[in-house]
């Protein structure tokens, strides 16, 4: 895909294909920039992904902590609701979400894209299962030293859970960045589209075989930021896979 994005159409659709481009060109990327308001949709994706991911990770961290370390009524029922949310496909919520956001005036807005996806059953479930493996003696010692729940969460639980949190963050960022169906439904203006939806205009406008290079260039632009995020978080993920349980 990356190599083909630098090939002219005659080198992509040919009976004698080559691995490396014989006449490298940036025309595919230039065409993408001319067809799609690239800077705008890229900025929209950064905002939606950044805000949505931060809120979802923070909600997952705090909700999972409450489900493990705070005693309150109906805690098991709340956790059961989280499990049920994991089982319900996102498509089932499209219509009620659309009606709700439209009634609030959120069509063609970035907050209209962000708001319905802020719940994070997966992150809550994963972090809850991890928190349950943390040594109880550590938390009891912190409580005896006078540390409240807020201090225990951010100064003890979060630092020793960094690899798991990084995994949740990576999955969340990838999901937010690649989210296509909901932004497609709630926006119909190019100024408010995210990158995956904006690049879909390429497939709508270009219907010939000569457009493969443009589509490859667009796909590279979608995937590259995710690869950068993975490269930044991979040391935490590898640490989480190798360090074992906290003793």
Q: Does residue 106 fall inside a structural domain?
A: yes
Q: What contacts 7, CB < 8 A, 6 or more positions away?
A: 21, 23, 24, 25, 28, 213
19 in Cβ contact with 11 (< 8 Å): no
CATH number at residue 99: 1.10.3720.10
State which residues form the domain around 79.
Answer: 4-242
Question: For residues 144 and 153, what is the distance between their CA atoms, to the nearest angstrom?
Answer: 15
Domain count for the chain: 1
User: What residues contact residue 147 under an 8 Å CB cut-off, 6+ apart?
Assistant: 155, 156
Structural domain includes residue 167:
yes
pTM for this predicted structure: 0.81
Is residue 41 assigned to a domain? yes
Can you give the pLDDT of all 247 residues of the chain as single tens digits? 889 889 888 888 777 888 888 888 888 888 888 888 888 888 999 999 999 999 999 999 999 999 988 888 888 898 898 888 888 888 888 899 999 999 999 898 999 999 988 887 888 988 988 888 888 888 888 888 788 888 888 888 998 888 888 888 888 888 899 888 899 999 888 788 888 888 877 765 555 555 778 888 888 888 888 888 888 777 766 665 554 444 4
H or E element, residue 29: helix 27-35
CB count within 10 Å of CB 14 equals 10
Evaluate whether residue 133 is within a structural domain.
Answer: yes
Residues 6+ apart with CB under 8 A from 152: 69, 139, 142, 143
Whether 230 is covered by a domain: the verdict is: yes
Amino acid 103: pLDDT: 93
Count of other CB atoms within 10 angstroms of residue 209: 9
In a domain, 247, yes or no: no
């Amino acid at each position: 895909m990356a190599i083909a994005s630098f090939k002219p159409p005659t080198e992509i659709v040919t009976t004698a294909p080559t691995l490396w481009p014989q006449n490298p060109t940036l025309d595919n990327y230039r065409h993408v920039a001319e067809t799609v308001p690239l800077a705008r949709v890229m900025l929209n994706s950064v905002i939606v992904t950044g805000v949505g991911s931060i809120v979802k990770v923070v909600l997952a961290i705090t909700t999972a902590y409450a489900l493990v370390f705070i005693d309150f009524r109906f805690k098991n029922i709340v956790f059961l609701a989280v499990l049920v949310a994991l089982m319900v496909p996102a498509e089932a919520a499209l219509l009620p979400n659309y009606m709700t956001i439209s009634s609030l005036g959120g069509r063609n807005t970035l907050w209209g894209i962000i708001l319905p996806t802020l719940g994070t059953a997966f992150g809550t479930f994963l972090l809850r299962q991890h928190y349950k493996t943390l040594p109880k003696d550590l938390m009891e010692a912190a409580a005896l030293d006078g540390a409240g729940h807020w201090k225990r969460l951010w100064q003890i639980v979060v630092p020793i859970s960094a690899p798991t949190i990084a995994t949740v963050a990576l999955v969340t960022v990838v999901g937010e960045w690649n989210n296509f169906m909901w932004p497609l439904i709630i926006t119909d203006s190019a100024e408010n589209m995210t990158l995956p939806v904006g690049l879909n205009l390429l497939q709508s406008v270009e219907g010939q075989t000569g457009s493969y290079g443009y589509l490859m260039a667009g796909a590279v632009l979608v995937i590259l930021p995710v690869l950068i995020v993975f490269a930044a978080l991979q040391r935490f993920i590898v640490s989480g896979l190798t360090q074992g349980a906290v003793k």
